[in-house]
Amino acid sequence: VQLVESGGGLVQAGGSLRLSCTVSERFNVMGWYRQAPGKQRELVAINYGGGSTNYADSVKGRFTISRDDAKNTIYLQMNSLKPEDTAVYYCNARRLLVNLWGQGTQVTVSS
């Protein structure tokens, strides 16, 4: 099973980025996590399938997770980015007995 992320980069505060994550097989639960330097990895947004989602309080109203099941792909649209959103963002896909992580993509927000 392969998981490929894309879409990170450098953006000014207030800007937008969209991350993509494509998996070679279908997973019901897919999400995005992030890890800033010196901090633990934390949940950003998760999609349970069937329209059910959950977001970290810090990104509610600014980030949107969506999925295209035909492409086995999830997206994270990030708007109104803040310097504190700077981190490595990791895609996660899981189902019974399988828990996949992407290699991570750097998001840097300059002030």
pLDDT for residue 56: 98
CB 35 within 8 A of CB 23: no
Cα 111 from Cα 42, distance rounded (Å) = 22
> Distance between alpha carbon 93 and the CA centroid of its chain, in Å?
11
| pLDDT average, residue stretch 97-106 | 95
Q: What pLDDT digit, counting tens, does each position of 28-41 carry?
A: 999 999 999 999 99
pLDDT bin (cut points 50, 70, 90) of residue 81 is very high
Over residues 44-74, the pLDDT tens digits come to 999 998 889 999 999 999 999 999 999 999 9
Average pLDDT for 2-12: 94
- Whether the CB-CB separation of 53 and 64 falls below 8 Å is answered with no
**What pLDDT, on the 0 to 100 scale, is given for residue 14?**
98
* Per-residue pLDDT, 51: 81
pLDDT of residue 50: 82
Across all residues in the chain, what is the average pLDDT?
A: 96
Which has the closest alpha carbon to 73: 7, 9, 3, 8? 3
